[in-house]
Amino acid sequence: MKSVTDKDDTTLTGAEIKRIRLAQAPKPAWKVALDFAMTKRGIPYVWGGTSDSGYDCSGLMLRAYEKAGIDLPRTAREQYGAFSRKIDWTELEPGDLVFFSNLGHVGMISKPGYMVHAPHSGDVVKEEKLSSWRRQAFVGAVRPDPKGVRRWAQLLEERREPVPASLTATL
């Protein structure tokens, strides 16, 4: 068994050193986002909600990934469109955003076969098994990354730029 003695004559084994290093390592963004979303279980669904007073589906994802340092667009449709790489149903991993019903709903994979989401009015944020109905309503999934969101924001900005006057002048 390997051990290390520090300046205070405290001896640590290799396993203890590894455990300390792992505890100090930063969490990946998906884990920060998932941990945030899971702590919101029980908070009521509120249409347009983005706070602990209430969340809608995309508002929960917005705040979860914001906590992880990734700025998502506001709506489920925009969140899906923000990433060019789409994830197949068979490749889902914790932290992936899953979209349903013509991009009208979004949840986050919490563990294999489950998602955390804000379902609808009269309900609360909860973790739920992915049902066969969800599989049929599945549109696609994305794995949020900062580069994808920056590309999306850049494309939006390019669309907003006014057309040069020389191109719109009448002849």
6 assigned to some structural domain = no
What average pLDDT does the segment 56-78 reach?
A: 96
pLDDT, the chain, mean: 87
CA distance 147 to 70: 9
∠ CA 43-118-51, nearest 5°, is 50
CA distance 52 to 163: 42
Q: In the prediction, which pLDDT does 171 show?
A: 46
Residue 168 has pLDDT above 70, yes or no: no
Phi, psi of 20 (to 5 degrees): -65, -45
CA distance 27 to 22: 9
CA atoms within 13 A on the CB side of 54: 13
What average pLDDT does the segment 27-38 reach?
A: 96
Which is nearest to 40 in space by CA: 27, 29, 51? Answer: 51
116 assigned to some structural domain = yes
**CATH code of 35's domain:** 3.90.1720.10
Catalytic residue numbers read 57, 105, 117
Q: In the prediction, which pLDDT does 24 show?
A: 67
Q: In the prediction, which pLDDT does 36 show?
A: 98
What average pLDDT does the segment 128-138 reach?
A: 96
165 assigned to some structural domain = no
Phi, psi of 142 (to 5 degrees): -135, 155
CA distance 25 to 88: 30
Task: List the domain range (segments joined by +) for residue 98.
Answer: 27-160
What average pLDDT does the segment 66-85 reach?
A: 93
CA distance 114 to 129: 4
Query: Could you tell me the pTM of the whole model?
Result: 0.77
Read off the pLDDT band of 22 (50, 70, 90). low
Give the whole-number percent of the chain exceeding pLDDT 90: 65
Q: In the prediction, which pLDDT does 9 show?
A: 63
Q: Which residues pair with 115 in a beta bridge?
A: 109, 128
Domain count, the chain: 1
